[in-house]
Structure 1
Amino acid sequence: MIVLKNLTLRRGAKVVLEDVDLTIHAGEKASVVGRNGAGKSSLFALLTGQLLPDAGDASIPPGWRIAEVAQSMPETTDSATDFVLQGDQALMEAQAALAAAEAGGDGDAIAEAHQRIQDAGGFDARPRAQALLLGLGFRGDQLDRPVNSFSGGWRMRLQLARALMCPADLLLLDEPTNHLDLDALVWLESWLKRFEGTLLVISHDREFLDAVTRVTVHLEDGKLTRYGGNYSAFETLRAERLAQQQAAYERQQERIAQLQRFIDRFKAKATKARQAQSRVKALERMEKLAPVLTSSDFSFEFREPASLPNPMLSLKGVACGYPAATPGGAPAVIVHDVNRTVLAGQRIGILGANGQGKSTLVKTIARVLAPIDGQLTEGKGLAIGYFAQQEMDVLRPDENPLQHLIRLAKEVSPQAREQELRDFLGGFRFIGDMAQQSVGSMSGGEKARLVLAMLVWQRPNLLLLDEPTNHLDLTTREALSMALNEFEGTVMLVSHDRALLREVCDEFWLVAKGRVEPFDGDLDDYQRWLLEQARLQREALARGDSPASGAAQESGANRRDERRAQAQARQRLAEQAKPIKKALAAVEADVARLTEEKQALEQALAGGGLSPAELADHGRRLKAVSEALEAAETRWLELADQLEALGAS
Structure 2
Amino acid sequence: MTTIALKDAGYTAKTSLFSNLTLSIGPGDRVGVVAANGAGKTTLLKCITGENELSTGSLTLSRGARVGYVPQDVPKTLTGASMFDAVASGLNAEMLASESWRVDVVLDSLSTPDDIRLLPVRQLSGGWQRLMLLARAWVADPDVLVLDEPTNHLDLEKILLLENWFAGIGEVPVLISSHDRGFLDAVTNRTLFLRPDQSRYFALPYSRARDALALEDESDAVKRERELKEASQLRQQSAKLKNIGINSGSDLLQKKQKQLRERAEKIEAQVKSLHKERSGDIRLANRGTHAKVLVAFEDLTVATPDGRKLFSIPKLHLFQGDRIVLLGRNGTGKTTLIEMLRRVLLAGEAVGGIKATPSLVTGYMDQALDFVPSDESPFAYISALGPDDQRTRALLAGAGVGIDMHAIPIGRLSPGQRARLGLLALRLIEPNFYLLDEPTNHVDIAGQEALADEIKAHEASCVLVSHDRAFVRDVANRFLLIDKGRLIEVDDAEGFFRVMAG
After superposition, the Cα gap between the structure-2 partners of 1:372 and 1:357, relative to the gap in structure 1 and judged at 3 Å, is farther
Aligned residue for 1:337?
312
After superposition, the Cα gap between the structure-2 partners of 1:518 and 1:370, relative to the gap in structure 1 and judged at 3 Å, is farther
Instruction: Tell me if the contact between 1:130 and 1:143 (Cα under 8 Å) persists in the aligned partners.
Output: no
* Aligned: 1:221 with 2:224: no
Report the residue type matching 1:195 in the other structure. I
Q: Which moved more, 1:335-344 or 1:27-36?
A: 335-344
Q: Which moved more, 1:501-510 or 1:143-152?
A: 143-152
Report the residue type matching 2:324 in the other structure. I
Q: 2:340 aligns with which of 360, 364, 367?
A: 364
Aligned residue for 1:22?
23
Q: Report the CA distance between 1:524 and its aligned residue.
A: 3.0
Q: Report the CA distance between 1:377 and its aligned residue.
A: 1.0
Matches within 5 A, 1:167-182: 167-182=141-156
Aligned residue for 2:469?
498
Q: Could you say what the CA RMSD is over the residues aligned between the two structures, in angstroms?
A: 3.2
* Aligned: 1:130 with 2:69: no
* Aligned: 1:466 with 2:437: yes
After superposition, the Cα gap between the structure-2 partners of 1:294 and 1:420, relative to the gap in structure 1 and judged at 3 Å, is closer
Instruction: Tell me if the contact between 1:7 and 1:17 (Cα under 8 Å) persists in the aligned partners.
Output: no
Aligned residues: 488
Report the residue type matching 2:493 in the other structure. L
Report the residue type matching 1:477 in the other structure. Q
d(CA) in 2 for partners of 1:297 and 1:75?
33
Matches within 5 A, 1:318-357: 318-320=300-302, 331-333=306-308, 335-339=310-314, 340-357=316-333
* Aligned: 1:292 with 2:263: no
Aligned residue for 1:374?
352
d(CA) in 2 for partners of 1:288 and 1:147?
53
Aligned residue for 1:80?
83
Q: Report the CA distance between 1:307 and its aligned residue.
A: 0.6
Instruction: Tell me if the contact between 1:38 and 1:222 (Cα under 8 Å) persists in the aligned partners.
Output: no
Aligned residue for 2:493?
523
* Aligned: 1:145 with 2:119: yes
d(CA) in 2 for partners of 1:68 and 1:388?
28
- Secondary structure of the structure 1 residue equivalent to 2:352: strand
Instruction: Tell me if the contact between 1:319 and 1:374 (Cα under 8 Å) persists in the aligned partners.
Output: no
Aligned residue for 1:261?
236
Q: Report the CA distance between 1:148 and its aligned residue.
A: 4.4
d(CA) in 1 for partners of 2:55 and 2:420?
35
d(CA) in 2 for partners of 1:78 and 1:300?
39
After superposition, the Cα gap between the structure-2 partners of 1:521 and 1:127, relative to the gap in structure 1 and judged at 3 Å, is farther
5+ residue gaps, structure 2, are none
Instruction: Tell me if the contact between 1:334 and 1:356 (Cα under 8 Å) persists in the aligned partners.
Output: no
Q: Report the CA distance between 1:151 and its aligned residue.
A: 5.3
Q: Which string of whole-angstrom CA distances, capped at 9 and with x for unpartnered residues, describes residues 311-334 of structure 1? A: 2112223344576xxxxxxx4446
Instruction: Tell me if the contact between 2:9 and 2:19 (Cα under 8 Å) persists in the aligned partners.
Output: yes
d(CA) in 2 for partners of 1:322 and 1:175?
30
Q: Which string of whole-angstrom CA distances, capped at 9 and with x for unpartnered residues, describes residues 444-465 of structure 1? A: 1121112112222222222110
d(CA) in 2 for partners of 1:258 and 1:509?
61
d(CA) in 1 for partners of 2:284 and 2:255?
62
Q: 1:509 aligns with which of 476, 480, 493?
A: 480
After superposition, the Cα gap between the structure-2 partners of 1:383 and 1:285, relative to the gap in structure 1 and judged at 3 Å, is closer
Report the residue type matching 1:282 in the other structure. R
Q: Report the CA distance between 1:355 and its aligned residue.
A: 3.6
Matches within 5 A, 1:88-99: 89=91, 93=94, 96-97=97-98
- Secondary structure of the structure 1 residue equivalent to 2:297: strand
Q: Per chain length, whose mean CA-contact separation is higher, i.e. which structure has more relative contact order (CA < 8 Å, sep 6+)? A: 2
Aligned residue for 2:39?
38
d(CA) in 2 for partners of 1:464 and 1:476?
18
After superposition, the Cα gap between the structure-2 partners of 1:12 and 1:482, relative to the gap in structure 1 and judged at 3 Å, is closer
Matches within 5 A, 1:552-563: none
Aligned residue for 1:312?
294
Q: 1:208 aligns with which of 183, 189, 205?
A: 183
Instruction: Tell me if the contact between 1:73 and 1:156 (Cα under 8 Å) persists in the aligned partners.
Output: no
Q: Which string of whole-angstrom CA distances, capped at 9 and with x for unpartnered residues, describes residues 525-557 of structure 1? A: 22221233xxxxxxxxxxxxxxxxxxxxxxxxx
- Secondary structure of the structure 1 residue equivalent to 2:5: strand
Q: Report the CA distance between 1:302 and its aligned residue.
A: 3.3
* Aligned: 1:184 with 2:158: yes
After superposition, the Cα gap between the structure-2 partners of 1:148 and 1:422, relative to the gap in structure 1 and judged at 3 Å, is closer
Matches within 5 A, 1:579-618: none
Instruction: Tell me if the contact between 2:32 and 2:192 (Cα under 8 Å) persists in the aligned partners.
Output: yes
Q: TM-score, normalised by structure 2?
A: 0.86
Instruction: Tell me if the contact between 2:88 and 2:96 (Cα under 8 Å) persists in the aligned partners.
Output: no
After superposition, the Cα gap between the structure-2 partners of 1:248 and 1:75, relative to the gap in structure 1 and judged at 3 Å, is closer
d(CA) in 1 for partners of 2:169 and 2:347?
43
- Secondary structure of the structure 1 residue equivalent to 2:312: strand
Q: Report the CA distance between 1:394 and its aligned residue.
A: 1.9
Q: Which string of whole-angstrom CA distances, capped at 9 and with x for unpartnered residues, describes residues 357-396 of structure 1? A: 32221011012678796321112312211111122x3222
Instruction: Tell me if the contact between 1:428 and 1:453 (Cα under 8 Å) persists in the aligned partners.
Output: yes
- Secondary structure of the structure 2 residue equivalent to 1:194: coil
After superposition, the Cα gap between the structure-2 partners of 1:20 and 1:449, relative to the gap in structure 1 and judged at 3 Å, is closer
Q: Report the CA distance between 1:133 and its aligned residue.
A: 4.4
Report the residue type matching 1:251 in the other structure. R
Aligned residue for 1:2?
3
d(CA) in 2 for partners of 1:388 and 1:494?
10
Instruction: Tell me if the contact between 1:186 and 1:527 (Cα under 8 Å) persists in the aligned partners.
Output: no
Q: Which string of whole-angstrom CA distances, capped at 9 and with x for unpartnered residues, describes residues 232-262 of structure 1? A: 2222222222222222222222222222222
5+ residue gaps, structure 1, are 98-116, 324-330, 410-415, 533-649
**What is the percent sequence identity of the aligned residues?**
28
- Secondary structure of the structure 2 residue equivalent to 1:366: helix
From the two aligned structures, give the one with the greater helix fraction.
1
Report the residue type matching 1:263 in the other structure. S
Report the residue type matching 2:367 in the other structure. Q
Q: Report the CA distance between 1:506 and its aligned residue.
A: 2.7
Q: Report the CA distance between 1:61 and its aligned residue.
A: 2.0
d(CA) in 1 for partners of 2:254 and 2:58?
50
- Secondary structure of the structure 2 residue equivalent to 1:408: coil
Aligned residue for 2:69?
68
After superposition, the Cα gap between the structure-2 partners of 1:128 and 1:423, relative to the gap in structure 1 and judged at 3 Å, is closer
Q: Report the CA distance between 1:95 and its aligned residue.
A: 6.2
Q: TM-score, normalised by structure 1?
A: 0.68
d(CA) in 1 for partners of 2:409 and 2:53?
34
d(CA) in 2 for partners of 1:95 and 1:304?
57
Instruction: Tell me if the contact between 1:30 and 1:217 (Cα under 8 Å) persists in the aligned partners.
Output: yes
Aligned residue for 2:253?
272
Report the residue type matching 1:233 in the other structure. R
d(CA) in 2 for partners of 1:74 and 1:531?
35
Q: Which string of whole-angstrom CA distances, capped at 9 and with x for unpartnered residues, describes residues 174-230 of structure 1? A: 100112111111111222233311111000111111121111112211544311212
